[in-house]
Structure 1
Amino acid sequence: MNEMKKIEIEIENAIYKIIPKNITEKYINENINNNFYKYDNNAINKALFLPIRDLLERGGKRWRPKLFLLFLDCFGLQKKAIETYFDISAIIEIIHNGTLLTDDIEDDANLRRGKPCIHKMYGNDIAINAGSAMYFLPLKLIEKTHISDKQKNRLYKAYVDEMNNLSFGQAIDIFWHKNNIIPNIKEYLQMCLCKTGALSSMAVRFASILAKKQKEEEMLFSKAIGHLGVGFQIQDDILDIVSKNRDNFGKVYGNDITEGKKTLMIIHTYEVANNNDKNKLISILDKHTKNKDEIDDAIKLLNKYDAINFAKNQARKIAKNAWNEIDIVLKKSKAKQELKNFFDYLIEREI
């Protein structure tokens, strides 16, 4: 078994410490502080942990916890020390999946990772509650980690900061596609920095705190890795258009067109297109269509104005600038080269 596979297994084990297959009295006593009468464990299993585990067990790239662990390595922590923080890596992944669950409800999406979305299977009520729980349940793992109170307080602050950023970014994104607003490129990049960059920033801030970095260093890395998250989002939007393997990608063809999302490709096309093409594109987006011919027409317009290549080049530029910011402060090491390879993978990946 290679090292990366071992790490993936440890991340999974950490996730299921806080999201167990079956709730027990021991779990209740360790994680709930008002066990005065009698919990209906079966209800909690069926209405909370089952839908959460359903989503988590569908897989995913798990790149945010891997990024966290890579940075611990880059910061010079020894292997045994890094292994003590697998539980912290799980926090970021559980929260990320909580955002996906909530996002799918907000978009009334049908598919997530090749299967019906959680709200389609269990209902909106159960899905909303499960998504909310995924933002807070993992914080118990911080409480149980053997670190100083000062470090715990810094971790909680980083969590609050980035969750606020995430909520602001999501609000902006929803407002745009509900109200048929085309932002400019800077506004779009700021939205991505908040929405997608938040959890990658959380990952590196957590690593910085556990490695006992000063606040200034923590925020330097946070800024750079937040921008990596922007590049990742741009690439994800590109894959929504060009990916031929829909089962592996896990979303239906042209999902962002159907949702009317204002991606970088849409914004670029809108800015450079002639009036007829501009109006046609907006008309398709406003319909929130699932008609394949109309989705194809929108994608043809993106191709006509070379929007995919434009977005790809922007993602590469953003990732390169992010890497340059941390390249000068990280010491040369095997871990640093692995981190650079990781950067490249996130931006150049294909499905």
Structure 2
Amino acid sequence: MISSKKLFSSIHKDISQLNLNLQKMIGAKHPILYAAAKHLFSKGGKRIRPSIILLIAKITEPNNYILPEHKRLAEITEIIHTASLIHDDVIDDCDTRRGINTVHNIFNTKVAVLAGDYLFAQSSWYLANLNNLEVVKTISKVIIDFAEGEIRQGLTNFDTTISMDDYIEKSFYKTATLIACSCKATTILSNCNINTQNDFYIYGKHLGLAFQIVDDILDITSNTKLLGKPAGSDLKNGNITAPLIFALEESPELYKLINQEFQNTNDINKTIKIIKETRGIQKAKDLAEEHIQLAINIIKNKFKCNNTQTLMLINEYILSRFS
């Protein structure tokens, strides 16, 4: 598996500074909100989203220069992402995230919801201060899409009639929209033409979809220690994901377990075992690879430079997470 540290070596200093800036940016007057928000940032993550922004900035700016506005956009994107995680954990009643207790588990649900709201508000304030209306419009849509995605998911829990198109659309709202829109916003800050803006939007869209599909595979194939959150949590919450949709085509027995909403203690483990006995996981991997290839095809010939090669490696890194 590719090391994320090695992968982002060209922007290592920028990511280190981003981590320091995030600590300062989330400072709140209320100590509980500050502690709740700081909790996830201090643990950190792989910073995939801001790394993509910084690399695209290098690709689209003369002399590989990253503007201060690009750096701030990378920070805003990570704040929005973290806010969505805090709210997701409340909705999914998830006890751990990145291997540590979730905000609502440490404090309570009310504090977690307020902490997520606070981060969304903070991101909006910093976004407005970029003084670029097109970027504001582009990134603001992400928060709308997040809400749309959560509502759609909530309305289709344990719904075995969900189609693959429905799943892809929901995955766009929940994950791919942030990557797609932040990629486009980066090119807007670089004063790129509309064609380049659209190219990177589509690149981000397919990368984000692949990322979500891989996450959904890992929910079934991985374990709590590696995931940093409980394995099988998607199944438990009734989220019908790609591996399950494909598995349903081969194993009608799964319909009964889902319709009963996994009421028996061992139903989740039984469902995972059945999915693993089908070609559901392999077909989901193939689907993720399709979206990765679509992302690669967008940029490989149009934007040739070392930083483009690093973007290609990100694609490989996303797929390597389940190898």
TM-score by length of 2: 0.90
The alignment partner of 1:213 has SS state of coil
Which of 301, 304, 318 does residue 346 from structure 1 map onto? 318
CA contact (8 A) 1:71 1:204 kept: yes
Q: Provide the residue aligned with 2:230 in structure 1.
A: 252
**AA partner of residue 169 (structure 1):** G
CA contact (8 A) 1:260 1:288 kept: no
Which of 256, 272, 295 does residue 268 from structure 2 map onto? 295
CA deviation digits over 1:13-70, x for unaligned, max 9? Answer: 22123213xx5xxxxxxxxxxxxxxxxx4xx122x11100012212212100001011
CA contact (8 A) 2:99 2:227 kept: yes
CA 1:81/1:279 → structure 2, altered by over 3 Å: closer, same or farther?
closer
Which of 65, 82, 88 does residue 103 from structure 1 map onto? 88
The alignment partner of 1:253 has SS state of coil
CA contact (8 A) 1:110 1:116 kept: yes
**AA partner of residue 232 (structure 2):** G
The alignment partner of 1:212 has SS state of coil
Deviation at 1:162, TM superposition (A): 2.3
CA contact (8 A) 1:73 1:82 kept: no
CA 1:216/1:167 → structure 2, altered by over 3 Å: closer, same or farther?
farther
**AA partner of residue 307 (structure 1):** G
What number of residue pairs does the alignment pair up?
316
Q: Provide the residue aligned with 2:139 in structure 1.
A: 159
Q: Percent identity?
A: 25
Q: Provide the residue aligned with 2:239 in structure 1.
A: 261
CA contact (8 A) 1:205 1:219 kept: yes
Deviation at 1:324, TM superposition (A): 0.7
Deviation at 1:216, TM superposition (A): 3.7
1:197 to 2:176 alignment = yes
Give, in whole Å, the separation in 1 of the partners of 2:310 and 2:275: 34
Q: Which one has the largest radius of gyration?
A: 1
Q: Provide the residue aligned with 1:35 in structure 2.
A: none
Give, in whole Å, the separation in 2 of the partners of 1:326 and 1:166: 26
Give, in whole Å, the separation in 2 of the partners of 1:77 and 1:167: 37
CA deviation digits over 1:152-208, x for unaligned, max 9? Answer: 10111001222222222221112111x534311111111111211111012201211
Any runs of at least 4 consecutive aligned residues in structure 1 with deviations exceeding 6 A, and if so which?
Answer: none
Deviation at 1:8, TM superposition (A): 2.2
Gaps of 5+ in 1: 24-40
Gaps of 5+ in 2: none
Give, in whole Å, the separation in 2 of the partners of 1:114 and 1:100: 14
CA 1:76/1:85 → structure 2, altered by over 3 Å: closer, same or farther?
closer
What RMSD, in angstroms, separates the aligned Cα atoms of the two structures?
2.1
CA contact (8 A) 2:262 2:268 kept: no
**AA partner of residue 204 (structure 2):** I
1:221 to 2:200 alignment = yes
- Structure 2 counterparts to residues 1-351 of structure 1, below 5 A: 3-20=10-27, 23=28, 41=29, 44-46=30-32, 48-82=33-67, 85-145=70-130, 149=131, 152-177=132-157, 180-244=159-223, 246-273=224-251, 275=252, 277-283=253-259, 286-287=261-262, 291=265, 293-330=266-303, 332-350=304-322
